[in-house]
Structure 1
Amino acid sequence: MKTALIAGASGLVGQSLLLQLLHSDQYSKIIALVRRPSLGNHPKLKEEVINFEDLGSYESPHNVDDVFCCLGTTIKTAGSQEAFRKVDFTYVIELAKWAENKHCQQFAAISSVGASTNTSNFYLRTKGEMEAAISTLNIPAIHIFRPSLLLGQRDEFRFGEKVSEIMMRLFNPMMKGRLRKYKAIEASDVAMAMYNKTQHSIDGVIIYEGAEIG
């Protein structure tokens, strides 16, 4: 059986994905990169406390097959655009380069609907540049997921996101056709898509959005 590595397992998508990986019969070991131990005990789980500033120097005691990146923050939480970019761009790229160097077979990452290198929107441009950077790496399969607003129970209350969530739940039924990719989506559905899509033998860079996610 395979070994999976996950970063961002304490986040909204990461929590759901970790549970799916732990209950999967495809993986015998799940390595979670964390800042501090916090994920509980499970016979298949191994938490590795690392410094994300020096992610490239991490040495796993196991051969890793698939890497799942659920790292992400907001500009408000990070405190600045620079701090946001460090998490959503730099850390993701460093993890992808690590996967390339360790000859991992798959790398799955979360981006955003509307991601583009050509937009003036800082958030979406950062996501687009992240996609462009990891797409050049020599990893057999690179899976990029572009969800819209994520729904789910967050550990911290964010007033703006809560208002957006309420509004999106109201407008979701109206978003059909080309607008469907902008529908808000449950974080657990994104996690399920990340797991399911990586269980097929597909090589190349594959981008999923809208109905392809959930």
Structure 2
Amino acid sequence: MKGKIRAIITGASGMVGEGVLHECLKSDSVESVLVVGRKHCGTTHPKLKEILIPDFKDISSLRENLKGYNACYFCLGVSSIGLTEEQYFDLSHRITLDFAKILSELNQETTFCYVSGSGTDSTEKGSVMWARVKGKTENDLMKLPLAQVFAFRPGYMQPTKGLKNTLKYYKYISWTYPFLKGIFPGFVSSLEEVGIAMIRATLQGYPKKIVEVKDIKVLAGS
């Protein structure tokens, strides 16, 4: 990609999105960031603009605001626990694809990085519901006329110190990170590495569209 990154980030009020936003605001390669969310991300910065929307199921009014950006880091997600497959599909696949389709219509030079998950089922036929839905989401994103689409499949992510939206239970398990890295290197990365990997994939590309933990580390230079 030529020039600097002008990124849209969703899910910045959650742990992953906040971590990716943090890396974007630190990076000299990122010129500007637009956060789109249902509630304030809690961050202010000269490079940052924010748009609040009540419902991601109705994003038609956003169209004009999304012009001029060349990257999207889609970190918005929902747990499948307690949901039927139809409900999860509606909240996961449809919202993601609707957003990506608008971006593909506005700028086909856009790089779209989708936060999926380790264990996602590319065949869409496995026994695990969330993995099937995520797999179909990945597959359908790859069909859109966008410059680059990457499906990031992180496993355990060590949160970035000092950020506000780290899930509470991490304070009990973060100390295990050095051990997990040694025992399960293919499943463990830091949130910092995820953010850096997205930025570098946008700038220089990557030969794999499915970005597993080991690829995240390669892109991050870890």
Normalising by the smaller structure, the TM-score range is: 0.7 to 0.9
Shift of the 130–169 alpha-carbon distance from structure 1 to 2, 3 Å rule, reads farther
Give how far 1:170 is off.
4.8
Decide which of 109, 112, 128 is 1:107's aligned counterpart.
112
Residues matched between the structures, number: 204
Equivalence for 1:145:
152
After superposition, the C-alpha distances for 1:99-154 in whole angstroms (9 at most, x for unaligned) are 11111421111112221112110111111111111011010111111112333375
Q: How does 1:163-182 map to 2 (within 5 A)?
A: 170=179, 172-175=181-184, 180-181=185-186
8 A Cα contact 2:159 2:166, kept in partner: no
| C-alpha separation in 1, matches of 2:137 and 2:13 | 21
Q: Counterpart of 1:134 in 2: which secondary structure?
A: helix
For 2:58 and 2:203, how far apart are their aligned partners in 1?
Answer: 30
Shift of 1:57: 4.0
Is the deviation greater in 42-51 or in 20-29?
A: 20-29
Query: Are 1:54 and 2:58 an aligned pair?
Result: yes
Query: Per-residue displacement from partner, 1:177-200 (whole Å, max 9, x unpaired)?
Result: xxx53x233223222211222111
2:36 aligned with 1:27: no
Give the conservation status (yes or no) of the 8 Å contact 2:63–2:102: no
1:119 match: 126
Q: Tell me what 1:197 maps to.
A: 201
* Aligned equivalents of 2:102, 2:205: Cα separation in 1: 21
| 1:65 and 2:70 are equivalent in the alignment | yes
Q: Tell me how far apart the structure 2 counterparts of residues 26 and 32 of structure 1 sit (CA, whole Å).
A: 17
TM-score, structure 1 normalization: 0.81
What TM-score do you get using the length of structure 2 for normalisation?
Answer: 0.78
Q: What is the DSSP-based 3-state SS (H/G/I as helix, E as strand, rest coil) of the residue aligned with 2:63?
A: coil
Task: Tell me, in whole angstroms, the C-alpha distance in 1 between the residues paired with 2:31 and 2:21.
Answer: 13
